[in-house]
């Protein structure tokens, strides 16, 4: 019986999402403008701006250079550029962001680096937390 079926909440970000995410796997390289309907998981490198009409996950070791807009996001890799998130943004302890960050709810793990302005668009302050689980390295 799955955790969800047993009444236990799902723990991983993409376990909570319906459908199959679009994947940019480790070792992959994409250059250009990217628009995705639904969730996107990045393990490789993207150079260009992106609009994700769903959840975004950037794995440890992944790098995105450009402006990103997403509905929600979990970041463990690197971003060089601005990140605008409509709802919840979780910045993991291995994340490095060089750019401005916006989100309605923002949680930042101890050890994460955000080199730029952080703007919370909701009514809660930035939440700091100690990350207890190992970060995902696969998309």
Domain coordinates of the chain in residue numbers?
Answer: 35-113
Output the furthest CA–CA distance in the chain (Å, rounded): 44
pTM for the whole structure: 0.82
**How does pLDDT run along the chain (139 residues), one tens digit per residue?**
444 444 444 445 545 555 678 999 999 999 999 999 999 999 999 999 999 999 999 999 999 999 999 999 999 999 999 999 999 999 999 999 999 999 999 999 999 999 999 999 999 999 998 987 665 555 5
Under a CB-based contact definition with an 8 Å cutoff, are residues 53 and 69 in contact?
no
d(CA 51, CA 60): 21
* Confidence at residue 35, expressed as pLDDT on a 0 to 100 scale: 96
């Amino acid at each position: 019986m799955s955790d969800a079926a047993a009444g236990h909440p799902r723990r991983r970000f993409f376990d909570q999402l319906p459908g199959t995410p679009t994947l940019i796997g480790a070792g992959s390289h994409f250059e250009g403008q990217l628009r995705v309907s639904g969730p996107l998981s990045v393990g490789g490198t993207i150079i260009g701006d992106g609009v994700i009409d769903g959840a975004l996950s950037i794995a440890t070791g992944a790098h995105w250079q450009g402006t990103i807009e997403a509905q929600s996001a979990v970041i463990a890799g690197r971003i060089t550029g601005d990140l605008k998130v409509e709802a919840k943004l979780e910045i993991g302890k291995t994340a490095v962001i060089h750019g401005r960050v916006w989100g309605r709810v923002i949680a930042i793990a101890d050890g994460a680096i955000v080199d730029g302005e952080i703007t919370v668009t909701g009514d809660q302050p930035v939440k700091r937390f100690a990350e207890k689980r190992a970060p995902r390295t696969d998309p």
